[in-house]
């Protein structure tokens, strides 16, 4: 087994895999890229009280709907007032001001900004305001003595990437001095849903106590201690897959394809690649163009043709994670097909996260575990 960035003792490998489906994701070359690159961070943030408080935070449920362009955050918090008096409390959330050509966030007038987030307290929407000193939004709640309340927060983050296409998404626990004291037996969960993305676009993630539930990655913590909470960091590459077929095209053809994409003419973009298919003779190049066709057809909503293309790619043992991911989702409740796909992914060593994803869908007796050498392939 090659040296990986996430070093797992081989004797512990299967044990760890069985517990939480963990595989090392990074190769040595990819580790070098991460360590030498300034990667934009697009984290969901934890709420915090603006003053010291005895209000307890009992449960947190965070959902990230991850697409190529944005990450939509849905957060719910269960708060408890242990005191015998009514508490009036201001709560903050670090969040950038939505920028436009006319807006300079350094001199922003909070009254002129439409809030990019929605906050619901006990099911009713409440107003928020931007405060430059905390670089975030603030709202106020009132909690009666002994009352338990629910707070929900929704917002969308743009996925800013660097030149290599890398960005980090995830969840950052409050770095401020004022934090909510945790209640007895606090519960935390984060769910990562893949929209037009897939696990093959993840090149590293930590901490490694994740599991797959259906088609989502899930982190869960019980009885957390404040000083032991670790940020959830998911490092992704949102350009590499797309570049695999666009780099095959001439400058003129790239321009034409990008024009179609910018106008969201995805069916036409797929047809454009289909017409270019016969211009290439190498098998790998043809397969990449088929992957590109399927990618744009998926965006266009042409489900039937998409699955046919992905099926052809998988049947030809291509190394593209998206093909196995989309085909596997279509095999729900077909144990035989899922088992065959699992064996193929295992043999071809497609991507570290695809094996535990399928393991979670299969009966234990259908799974023969292995410790493959992992490389990220497109």
Q: Is the pLDDT of residue 22 over 50?
A: no
Task: Express each pLDDT in 315-342 by its tens digit.
Answer: 999 999 999 999 999 998 899 999 999 9
- Across the chain, mean pLDDT equals 85
When pLDDT is cut at 50, 70 and 90, the band that residue 107 belongs to is very low
- Are 193 and 70 in contact, with CB atoms under 8 Å apart? no
Rounded mean pLDDT of 288-300?
A: 98
pLDDT > 70 in the chain, percent: 81
Spatial CA neighbour of 152 closest among 240, 47, 254: 47
Residue 26: the pLDDT is 52
When pLDDT is cut at 50, 70 and 90, the band that residue 370 belongs to is low
When pLDDT is cut at 50, 70 and 90, the band that residue 356 belongs to is very high
When pLDDT is cut at 50, 70 and 90, the band that residue 134 belongs to is confident
Residue 36: the pLDDT is 47
Q: Is 120 exposed, middle or buried (0-12, 13-18, 19+ CB in 10 A)?
A: middle
Residue 376: the pLDDT is 45
CA distances from 16 to 38, 181, 219, 234, 274 (A): 31, 32, 15, 19, 44
Lowest mean per-residue pLDDT among 109-123, 143-157, 353-367: 109-123
Residue 41: asked if its preceding bond is cis (omega within 30°), the reply is: no
Q: Is the pLDDT of residue 59 over 70?
A: yes
- Are 152 and 75 in contact, with CB atoms under 8 Å apart? yes
When pLDDT is cut at 50, 70 and 90, the band that residue 97 belongs to is confident
The side-by-side arrangement of strands in the sheet containing 210-213 is 124-126, 117-121, 148-158, 70-80, 56-66, 182-194, 216-222, 210-213
Task: Express each pLDDT in 214-233 by its tens digit.
Answer: 999 999 988 667 777 889 99
Residue 366: the pLDDT is 76
When pLDDT is cut at 50, 70 and 90, the band that residue 7 belongs to is very low
Give the sign of the dihedral formed by CA 17, CA 43, CA 4, CA 329.
Answer: positive
Residue 99: the pLDDT is 59
Residue 106: the pLDDT is 40
Helix (H) or strand (E) holding 71: strand 70-80
104-109 contact pairs (CB < 8 A, 24+): 108/132
Residue 44: the pLDDT is 94
Report angle CA 192, 194, 197 to the nearest 5 degrees. 130
Task: Express each pLDDT in 257-286 by its tens digit.
Answer: 999 999 999 999 999 999 999 999 999 999
């Amino acid at each position: 087994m090659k040296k990986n960035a996430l070093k797992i003792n081989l004797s512990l490998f299967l044990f760890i895999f069985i517990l939480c489906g963990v595989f090392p994701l990074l190769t040595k070359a990819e580790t070098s890229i991460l360590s030498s690159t300034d990667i934009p961070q697009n984290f969901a943030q934890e709420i915090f009280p603006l003053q010291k408080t005895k209000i307890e935070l009992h449960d947190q449920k965070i959902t990230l709907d991850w697409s190529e362009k944005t990450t939509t955050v849905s957060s719910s918090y269960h708060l408890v007032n242990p005191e015998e008096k009514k508490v009036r409390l201001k709560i903050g959330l670090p969040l950038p001001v939505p920028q436009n050509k006319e807006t300079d966030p350094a001199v922003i007038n909070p009254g002129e900004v439409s809030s990019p987030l929605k906050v619901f307290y006990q099911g009713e929407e409440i107003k928020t305001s931007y405060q430059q000193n905390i670089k975030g939004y603030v709202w106020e709640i009132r909690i009666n003595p002994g009352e338990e309340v629910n707070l929900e927060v929704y917002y969308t983050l743009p996925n800013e990437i660097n030149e290599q296409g890398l960005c980090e998404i995830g969840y950052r626990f409050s770095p401020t001095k004022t934090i909510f004291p945790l209640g007895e037996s606090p519960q935390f969960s984060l769910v990562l849903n893949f929209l037009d993305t897939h696990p093959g676009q993840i090149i590293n993630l930590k901490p490694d106590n994740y599991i797959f539930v259906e088609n989502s990655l899930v982190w869960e913590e019980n009885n957390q201690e404040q000083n032991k909470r670790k940020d959830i960091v998911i490092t992704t590459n949102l350009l590499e897959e797309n570049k695999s077929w666009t780099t095959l095209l001439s400058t003129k053809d790239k321009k034409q394809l990008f024009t179609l994409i910018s106008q969201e003419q995805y069916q036409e973009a797929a047809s454009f690649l289909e017409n270019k298919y016969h211009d290439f003779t190498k098998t790998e190049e043809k397969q990449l163009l088929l992957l590109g066709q399927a990618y744009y057809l998926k965006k266009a909503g042409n489900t039937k043709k998409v699955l046919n293309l992905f099926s052809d790619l998988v049947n030809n043992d291509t190394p593209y994670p998206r093909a196995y991911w989309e085909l596997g989702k279509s095999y729900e409740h077909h144990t035989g097909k899922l088992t065959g796909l699992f064996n193929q992914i295992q043999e071809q060593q497609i991507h570290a996260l695809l094996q535990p994803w399928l393991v979670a869908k299969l009966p234990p007796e259908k799974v023969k575990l292995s410790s493959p050498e992992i490389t990220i392939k497109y």
